[in-house]
């Protein structure tokens, strides 16, 4: 995932830091000294330049940009550059704002407003990395974590299983997302286009993955018995 972040605020730095393991992060900073300081993190590409320089933005191949975050201290520049990135094909575009009144208009233009005073960088990172989970419940907290897994990512043998059967000692698949909707019924059947929404004990991600694969193996055994 290619992510472009404009700005040198604490919010911009923290967001870049949280996302650096999730894709290719490019941070645009106008102040040369701050840009040099930020470049010490080798996992982040830092460019010193004006955020509203269209020629510089064009060099970033915005059509291949999965996420664009305009997070400078100037709301007007954020909105302008966000609209420009959107027009060039950026997939998800976030705008740091200080005026709640503009949020509705930004939503209408398919832009995601961010009020840094209300939303921590971790919240935005969650929305970017796990959009379906964020739409459903927001930021993870407490003793449990929530994950989303596409059924094609190693869990094809779950296809045909019903939601009621997809649970274990420390996890439960409590929803399936397909065709743009969340489905919670116990009779919901997993299909090839399904994304599984999983609640599991915090810190047991690997155990959860293993348990899901075990369920897959059980289904394979059932098929073998049917053939016999």
pLDDT digits (tens, 9 = 90+) for 75-98: 999 999 999 999 999 999 999 888
Checking if the pLDDT of 224 tops 60, the result is no
Do 2-129 and 136-227 come out as alike in CATH topology? Answer: no
Rounded CA gap, 142 and 192, in Å? 32
Q: Domain extents for the chain?
A: 2-129, 136-227
Enter the CATH code of domain 136-227. Answer: 3.30.70.1450
Distance separating the N- and C-terminal Cα atoms of the chain: 46
Q: What percent of the chain stands above pLDDT 90?
A: 30
Residue from 202, 205, 203 nearest 141 by CA: 202
- Report the mean per-residue pLDDT for the chain: 82
Checking if the pLDDT of 58 tops 90, the result is yes
pLDDT 10s digits, 201-215: 877 888 988 888 887
Q: What percent of the chain stands above pLDDT 70?
A: 83
Q: How buried is residue 113: exposed, middle or buried, by Cβ count under 10 Å (0-12/13-18/19+)?
A: buried
Cβ neighbours of residue 175 closer than 8 Å, sequence gap 6 or more: 136, 163, 182, 183, 184, 196, 197
pLDDT 10s digits, 105-141: 898 899 998 876 555 555 566 667 667 656 654 544 4
Token look-up 């503009």 returns 102
pLDDT of 126 reads 61
What 3-state DSSP class applies to 183? strand
Q: The domain 2-129 is classified under which CATH number: 1.10.1370.30, 3.40.47.10, 3.30.70.20, 3.40.50.720? A: 3.40.50.720
Rounded CA gap, 84 and 56, in Å? 12
pLDDT of 217 reads 62
């Amino acid at each position: 995932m290619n992510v472009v972040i404009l700005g040198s605020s604490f919010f911009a730095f923290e967001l870049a830091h949280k996302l650096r393991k999730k894709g290719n992060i490019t941070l645009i900073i106008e102040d040369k000294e701050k840009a040099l300081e930020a470049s010490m993190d080798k996992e982040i590409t830092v460019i010193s330049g004006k955020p509203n320089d269209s020629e510089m933005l064009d060099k970033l191949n915005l059509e291949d940009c999965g996420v664009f975050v305009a997070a400078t201290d100037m709301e007007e520049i954020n909105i302008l550059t966000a609209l420009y990135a959107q027009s060039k094909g950026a997939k998800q575009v976030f705008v740091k704002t200080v005026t709640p009144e503009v949020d509705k208009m930004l939503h209408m233009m398919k832009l995601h407003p961010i009020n840094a005073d209300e939303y921590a960088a971790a919240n935005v990172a969650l929305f970017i990395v796990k959009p379906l989970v964020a739409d459903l419940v927001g930021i993870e907290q407490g003793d449990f974590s929530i994950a989303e897994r596409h059924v094609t990512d190693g869990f094809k043998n779950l296809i045909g299983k019903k939601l009621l059967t997809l649970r274990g000692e420390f996890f439960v698949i409590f929803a399936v997302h397909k065709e743009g909707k969340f489905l919670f019924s116990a009779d919901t059947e997993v299909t090839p286009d399904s994304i599984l929404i999983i609640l599991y004990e915090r810190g047991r991600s690997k155990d959860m993955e293993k348990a899901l694969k075990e369920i897959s193996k059980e289904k394979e055994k059932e098929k073998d018995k049917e053939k016999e």
